[in-house]
Structure 1
Amino acid sequence: MGLLTVIVCLAALHQAVGEKPALGFSALSRFNVDNQKVIVDKHNDLRRAVNPTARNMLKMVWNPEAANNAQRWADQCKMSISPSNERVVNGVFCGENILQATYPQSWSDAIQTWYNQVSNFKYGTGAIKDNAPIGGYTQVVWYHSYQIGCAVAYCPQNKWQYFYVCQYCPAGNNAANLSKPYKQGPACGDCPNACD
C-alpha cells in the first residue's frame, strides 16, 4: 500500500511541475462552437489590448468558409503557408498564420504564440531586428482583417504532428504598411459600432 501511495504522489508531482495534461485532438474541432468562440474571443482580446491603442481595429467574427479553406490546407500536412491563390474565400484574398506542434495545444495557446511575436515589433518601425519574425503578430492585429476561420490537422508522418492554420479575411500584412498594422489613436475612434 505504501509503494502505491508513493507512485501516485510522484505521478501527481510530475504533472504539477511542468507536464501539460493531454488535450484530446478531437477537442480542437473547428465545428465545435466553443472553439469558434475561444478563437474569436482570443483574437478580439489581443486586438483590444494593442499598444499603442488602435482607432480603426475591427471586431473579429467567425467565417465558416475560411475555416473550411484552412482545413483543406491543414489536411495536406505541408507545414508551410499556403499559396496565396489558395486563400481566396468568397472572392476575398485572405491572410494566414500557421503553427506546428508536437502535441495538441489549446487554440488560445496557438494564437498567443503568434501574438508573442510582438516582442520583435515596434509600432511605426516594424521588426526591431533584421529577419525577426513579426508576421504572425501583425496578421493577428491587422485592422481590417475581421473574419477568421481556423482548423487543425493531425499529421502522424511529420516530426511536428499537429498543424494549425488560421485564415484572416481580408488579408493583412501589406508590405507597404507592415510597421503600422492599424492606425494609432483612441480605441475604436474610427469605428465605434464595429469594435468590441
Structure 2
Amino acid sequence: DPTFTALLTTQTQVRREIVNKHNELRKSVSPPASNMLKMEWSREAAANAQKWANKCTLEHSNPGDRKTSTKCGENLYMSSNPTAWSDVIQNWFEEHRNFVYGEGPKSPSAIVGHYTQLVWYSSFRVGCGIAYCPNQKSLKYFYICQYCPAGNIVSKKNTPYQQGTPCASCPGNCDSGLCKYEDLLSNCDSLKKTAGCEQELLKEKCKATCLCEGKIY
C-alpha cells in the first residue's frame, strides 16, 4: 500500500517532516517558552518505537524498553486510515485546549499528556515508527513517537517548560525561539561532577550541562 509506505520513518523526508512539525509547534507554545530545546531525530528512539509498533498492541510499551542513553517518553496514535505524520502530531498538540499553563488540565478527565510531552522543554530527541495492524478490528494504523529524555515528570507536569522570552535561557545559541545547546555525551552529568566544566572535552561535548545549568538541565 503506497499510502502506508509513504509514512515509514526509514525515509529522510518523513523524518524531516516529523522533526520540523515538532519544532514548529514547540516554538508556537503559549505562553512562550524561555528554555525550549530544538528537537532532532534519534535513530535509537526510532528503532525502539518501530520495534514496539510492530507488535501491534495499540498500548504503551514498557518504560524499560524505551531507553536510549536516557529514559524516554512515548506518545501513541491509532487510526483506521493512513494519516499524515503532521496531522498525527498536530492532533497531540491540540490537547493544549484542555490545558492551562501552571495549573494543569481544565477538568479531571481532560487528556493533556501527549501535548505536555510534545512541548516538554528538555526532550530534545524524537524517534517515531508506524505499523499496519490488519488483525485489529478498526484501528489498523499504529503510530508511536518516543521522546528523550522523557518528559511529563510528575513534579513539573503543569509547567512543561519555563515561561518567558523565547530563548532567554540560552542566549547566543538560538534558532528562531528554540535553544540549540545540547549534550553530545550521555554521561555529561557525572563528568561534570568528577572533571568539572573547565575540561576541554566537557566544554565541547557537554554544552547544555555546562552552559545552561539550572536553566535547561
Q: With the length of structure 1 as denominator, give the TM-score of the two structures.
A: 0.86
Structure 1 counterpart of 2:35:
56
Please list every run of 5 or more consecutive structure 2 residues that lacks an aligned counterpart in the other structure: 179-217
1:149-196 C-alpha deviation (Å, 9 max, x unpaired): 001000001020000000000000011111000000000110241544
Structure 1 residue aligned with 2:120: 142
Within a 5 Å distance, the mapping from 1:46-195 to structure 2 comes to: 46-89=25-68, 91-158=69-136, 159-192=138-171, 193=173, 195=175
Letter in 1 for 2:114: G
Report the aligned-residue RMSD.
Answer: 1.2
Contact 1:67 1:151 in 2 (8 A): yes
Query: Which residues of structure 1 form unaligned runs of 5+?
Result: 1-21
**1:33 aligned residue:** 12
Deviations along 1:80-107, one digit per CA (max 9) or x if unpaired, are 1111111111x31000000000001000
Percentage of identical aligned residues: 46
3-state SS of the aligned residue for 1:28?
coil
Give the SS at the match of 2:6. Answer: helix
Instruction: Give every structure 1 segment of 4 or more consecutive aligned residues whose post-TM-superposition deviation is greater than 3 Å.
Output: none
Letter in 2 for 1:160: L
Query: Aligned pairs, how many?
Result: 174
Whole-angstrom distance in 1 between the partners of 2:147 and 2:27: 17
- 1:97-140 Cα distance to aligned partner (Å, 9 max, x none): 00000001000000001101101100000101002100000000
Counterpart code for 1:88? K
Q: TM-score, normalised by structure 2?
A: 0.78
Residues 194 and 103 of structure 1: CA distance in aligned 2, closer, same or farther (over 3 Å): same
Give the partner amino acid of 2:144. V
In 2, distance between residues paired with 1:55 and 1:153?
36
**C-alpha spacing 1:194/1:148, structure 2 compared with 1 (3 Å):** farther
Partner of 2:185: none
Checking the alignment, whether the CA contact within 8 Å between 1:115 and 1:136 is kept in structure 2 is yes
Q: Which of structures 1 and 2 has the larger relative contact order (alpha carbons within 8 angstroms, sep 6+)?
A: 1
Higher radius of gyration, 1 or 2? 1
Q: Per-residue displacement from partner, 1:36-95 (whole Å, max 9, x unpaired)?
A: 111000000000000000000000000111101000110000101111111111x31000
In structure 2, what is the Cα distance between the partners aligned to 1:151 and 1:194? 29
